[in-house]
């Protein structure tokens, strides 16, 4: 039995590098509450991502949830069901109503041609999701939002470090939120960030992550506890030093996959978009059983039987979750429903041996009938 190949593996610095980074945390005993490491990482990320302002959080979900609260929104938010649970939950937990828009069949991001038909007098915002490193049609979304007076909050969890036409992806919309979860291209073990331009919004957001406290004796908002601790910030500082090297390694893995799988009938690969500097976050493959001869689930089982973990990502759609009690109709987003039933993300991380990529691809090809 060969060693198990997981769908992802966390990038980490050398052990000694991290120990050196946390040495002064031991000396100061300042473990949380926006300490020196938090401030350093925030400064370095602002520069790396090319954004005007940034705040750090304990995870990407709290960045999304508290962003919506800080914007003081009410009514409906147009979003996509082809995403992780966090996106939809952040809307509902703020007392807002998600309105699900279908996705583009090529990029898997929100279909901007279908947004305006969903706008009502209750629509307050659009929450698009960048998917697999594919970015949304930010130009169309900006145009639509301005025409209808809507806020735009991007779930940018999959696009750390990416640029569009030379501009950091975190600088689009009113707010862009990132996840620094252990499985992401860049991680701080757990963590997240919100990037924005409005300083007054930033002040409210900052207080909300610290229980709504605005001064030692004043609590002006009903906030939460979403502060990034110093150990996570230190991991982020270390990983940021190496992230470009990690992305380059991921690119080599993606190119090896492409060389093995391109041109196979019934297998749709994911191309890097024009004008986008990719981070090679995920490797999604969409299978057409009528052409390939095997469906996504059969390929998933074949890989699993060979100790290889792939992921049905995103499946199921968030608008089908049992938690919502059948409130939403998945048939209203047919493209998303179709893609979710046929997509498989293959193992992808910086240190994945290329020989293992070849083996994964050989198993997939062997499924063809």
Q: pLDDT truncated to tens, each residue of the chain (369 aa)?
A: 568 999 999 999 999 999 999 999 999 999 999 999 999 999 999 999 999 999 999 999 999 999 999 999 999 999 999 999 999 999 999 999 999 999 999 999 999 999 999 999 999 999 999 999 999 999 999 999 999 999 999 999 999 999 999 999 999 999 999 999 999 999 999 999 999 999 999 999 999 999 999 999 999 999 999 999 999 999 999 999 999 999 999 999 999 999 999 999 999 999 999 999 999 999 999 999 999 999 999 999 999 999 999 999 999 999 999 999 999 999 999 999 999 999 999 999 999 999 999 999 999 999 998
Please state, in angstroms and rounded to a whole number, the distance separating the CA atoms of residues 365 and 260.
9
> How far is the C-alpha of 275 from the C-alpha of 212, rounded, in Å?
40
| Sheet with 76-79, side-by-side order of all strands | 53-57, 192-196, 175-179, 151-155, 123-127, 76-79, 97-100
Q: Where are the domains of the chain?
A: 15-237, 242-366
Are 15-237 and 242-366 equal in CATH topology?
no
Handedness of CA 102, 314, 242, 278 (dihedral sign): negative
Does residue 112 come out as left (phi exceeding 0), alpha (psi in the -120 to 50 range) or beta? alpha
User: In whole numbers, what is the pLDDT of the chain averaged over residues?
Assistant: 97
CATH 3.90.1150.10 fits 242-366, yes or no: yes
pLDDT tens digits along 92-132: 999 999 999 999 999 999 999 999 999 999 999 999 999 99
Domain at 15-237: CATH architecture? 3-Layer(aba) Sandwich (3.40)
């Amino acid at each position: 039995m060969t060693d198990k190949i997981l769908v992802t593996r966390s990038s980490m610095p050398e052990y000694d590098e991290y120990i050196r980074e946390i040495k002064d945390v031991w000396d100061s005993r300042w473990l949380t509450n926006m300490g020196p490491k938090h401030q350093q990482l925030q400064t370095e990320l602002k520069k790396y991502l090319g954004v005007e302002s940034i705040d750090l959080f304990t995870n990407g979900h709290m960045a999304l949830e508290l962003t919506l609260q800080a914007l003081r929104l009410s009514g409906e938010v147009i979003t996509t069901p082809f995403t992780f649970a966090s996106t939809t939950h952040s809307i509902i937990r703020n007392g807002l109503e998600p309105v699900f828009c279908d996705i583009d069949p090529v990029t898997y991001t929100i279909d901007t041609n279908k947004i305006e038909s969903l706008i009502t007098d209750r629509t307050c915002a659009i929450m698009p999701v960048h998917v697999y490193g594919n970015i949304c049609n930010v130009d169309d979304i900006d145009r639509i939002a301005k025409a209808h007076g809507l806020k735009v909050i991007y779930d940018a969890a999959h696009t750390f470090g990416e640029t569009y036409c030379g501009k950091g992806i975190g600088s689009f919309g009113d707010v862009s939120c990132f996840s620094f979860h252990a499985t992401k291209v860049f991680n701080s073990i757990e963590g997240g960030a919100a990037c924005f331009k409005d300083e007054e919004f930033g002040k409210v957001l900052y207080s909300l992550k610290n229980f709504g406290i605005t001064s030692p004796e004043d609590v002006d908002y009903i906030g939460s506890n979403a502060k990034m601790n110093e150990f996570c910030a230190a991991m982020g500082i270390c990983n940021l030093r190496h992230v470009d090297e990690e992305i380059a390694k991921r690119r080599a893995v993606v190119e090896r996959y492409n060389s093995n799988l391109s041109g196979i009938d019934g297998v749709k690969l994911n191309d890097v978009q024009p004008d986008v500097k990719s981070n090679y976050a995920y490797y999604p493959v969409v299978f057409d059983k009528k052409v390939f001869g095997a469906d996504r689930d059969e390929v998933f089982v074949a890989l699993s039987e060979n100790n290889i973990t792939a992921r049905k990502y995103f499946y199921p759609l968030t608008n089908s979750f049992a938690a919502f009690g059948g409130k939403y109709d998945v048939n209203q987003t047919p493209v998303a429903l179709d893609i979710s039933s046929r997509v498989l993300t293959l193992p992808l991380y910086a240190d994945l041996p290329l020989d293992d990529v070849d083996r994964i691809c050989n198993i997939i090809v062997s499924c063809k009938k």
